[in-house]
Amino acid sequence: MMGNVAGKHRSPHRGSSVEFAEYRKYVPGDDTRRLDWKAFARSDRFYIKEFEADTNLRAYFVVDASGSMNFTGGGEPKIQYARRIAASLAYLLVNQGDAAGLSICTDKLHLEVPPSRRAAHLERFFTTLGKVQPSGETGLIEALHTIAEKIGQRAFVVILSDLFADTAALSDALQHLRYRKHDISVFHLMDPLEIGFEFDRPHRFVDLEDGTALVAEPNLIADEYKAALRDFLTAVRAKCHDAAADYQLVTTDTPLEPLLRDFLTARLPKSKH
C-alpha cells in the first residue's frame, strides 16, 4: 500500500528482500553498497537500485515560478507562500522516512531536485526553493507532462501555482498524471486583491508575465472582471475534479498552520470499524 502524507510507515523489510522498483542516479551520500555495477559497466554512470520498501511514498512538489507568482496585494507574495507550503510538507515527509523532490518551472527554466529520503537532502531542497526568482511566462504545463512521463512508479504530485494557463492544456496535463496513476493535490494560490478586486481609483494594471499594461477605471470593469474570474475558477475546479485531483483555492493571507493541519488530516486513511 502506498503511504499517506501523515504517519510513519517505514517498511520492516530491507531493500534487498523486497520487489525491485527502479534505478536512480547516484548522489553523494548514498550508500555505495547499493550501487549497481552492471549498470555502471553498461553506461559508465553510477546508479542506485531502489526497492518498493524504499519508496513507500515519493512526493514531487511542482512550484510555478512565472512572473505572476511575484504578485502581492492583500497577502504575502504567492511565490513565498508556495515556498512555505512546499518546505513544510517536504520537511514532514523526509522526517518520516519518505522521499521529497522539487520541480521549479517557468517557460525558460526547469530546475529539479530529485526525490530523496536523506535528511541532508532537505538543505538542497530548501536552498533551491529559496533562490528561485519568478519571471516570464508559466512553464507549468510542460513541467507536469515531463513529470508524468519520467516517474516510473506512482507518486504524490503537489502543484503550487496561480494556474494562469490555458485550462484545456491544464486539463490535458492533469489527465496525463492521472493516466500514469499519480496522486495529485493542487494548491491554487491567489492574492486576496485578485479575488476581491477592490480599488478606489484608476490603476495601471501590468501583466507580470509578458509585461503588457492597461490603464483602467476599476469600477467600470469590476463586474466583467469578477464574471471572468468566476468562469476561470469554475473551469479550473472542474478540470481538477475530472482528473481526480484534490483542489484547494487558497488566498495568500490564509494562516499556514491550520491550512496544513486540515490538509494532512484529510489525507489520513479512514478509520476501520
Show me where the domains of the chain are located: 15-54, 58-266
* Local structure of 241: helix, strand or coil: helix
- Pairing relationship of beta strands 183-190 and 246-251 according to DSSP bridges: parallel
Q: How many CB atoms lie within 10 A of CB 160?
A: 28
Under DSSP, the state recorded for 152 is -
pTM: 0.76
pLDDT tens digit sequence for 155-184: 999 999 999 999 999 999 999 999 999 999
Let me know: does 102 contact 32? Beta carbons within 8 Å.
no
Q: Which helix (H) or strand (E) holds 2?
A: none
Domain 58-266: give its CATH architecture: 3-Layer(aba) Sandwich (3.40)
pLDDT tens digit sequence for 206-249: 544 555 655 555 665 678 888 999 999 999 999 999 999 999 99
**Cα–Cα distance between 187 and 246 in angstroms, integer?**
8
Let me know: does 137 contact 165? Beta carbons within 8 Å.
no
C-alpha distances (whole Å) from 102 to each of 116, 188, 241, 260 are 10, 17, 24, 18
